[in-house]
Amino acid sequence: MAIESTVARGRGRPRAFSSSEALMAAVAVFAEKGYEHTSLSDLTSAMGINRTSMYLAFGSKEDLFLLAMKAFHAQADAHLAECMSGPSARAGVAALLRSWAEMATSPDGLGVRFVTQAPLTDVGASAEVAAEIETCRASVQVKLKERFDQAVIAGELPARADTDALGRFYSVTIQGLALDAQHGGTREQLLRAVEVALAAWPTSRQ
């Protein structure tokens, strides 16, 4: 459900706007341009509000970027949980990677570029915000590791499987899919790469 807020506009009556829709508009802008190259004008134009309204509703540009990153990763985490909810972790990974290949090459998949954002170390962001953003980035790897730990207990993965490395491998694969799509990789090419990544799934014979 959209969160409705009220913004004063000139001398006329206040205009209601959807905070959730405005936030997702900010996600798209930040995903396309990155934190450093996104201007306040870019944000307010896409969000359909003025700067005063933006500050009142979302805080500074840094605050808004963090909110946008959290909103994107909340959706990504929900998608990951849905893909990995079945009895087979490998089947879940297959569904997850294939869906990312499709989203990354979709005209509506601009937001997936958030996974290729550079760290906010040299662009004036506070250490606290930079740390929170890195926590968001790491969430995919952490959640995959947790699921792989369950797969070890269930016997789907061998007991010696390095679930931390496996989680990192498939998390990096997701980032690579998004980055390759940004540089012209086609859906067919990305899906072929997904099959190679799935072939690396550990077996009891390895």
Distance of CA 162 to CAs 20, 145, 201, Å?
39, 9, 11
Mean pLDDT of the chain, nearest integer: 84
Q: Is 60 helix (H, G, I), strand (E, B) or coil?
A: coil
CA 173/CA 175 separation, integer angstroms: 5
Give the model's pLDDT for residue 76.
Answer: 87
DSSP tally for the chain: helices H, then strands E: 8, 2
Distance of CA 102 to CAs 11, 61, 106, 189, Å?
46, 30, 6, 11
* Residue 166 clears pLDDT 80, i.e. is over it: yes
Torsion of CA 84, 85, 91, 95, to 10 degrees: -60
Cβ contact 175:118 at 8 Å? no
Q: Return the percentage of the chain with pLDDT > 70, whole number.
A: 82
Confidence of residue 101 (pLDDT cuts 50, 70, 90): very high
Residue of 27, 104, 38 whose CA lies nearest to 73: 27
Q: Which residue has the higher pLDDT, 174 or 3?
A: 174
Distance of CA 34 to CAs 26, 28, 69, 88, 200, Å?
11, 10, 11, 36, 32
All domains of the chain in start order, with CATH: 70-198 (1.10.357.10)
CA 153/CA 28 separation, integer angstroms: 40
Read off the pTM.
0.80
Tens-place pLDDT, residues 15-29: 456 888 899 899 889
**Where in the chain does DSSP place strands (E)?**
4-7, 15-18
Torsion of CA 71, 73, 75, 80, to 10 degrees: -170
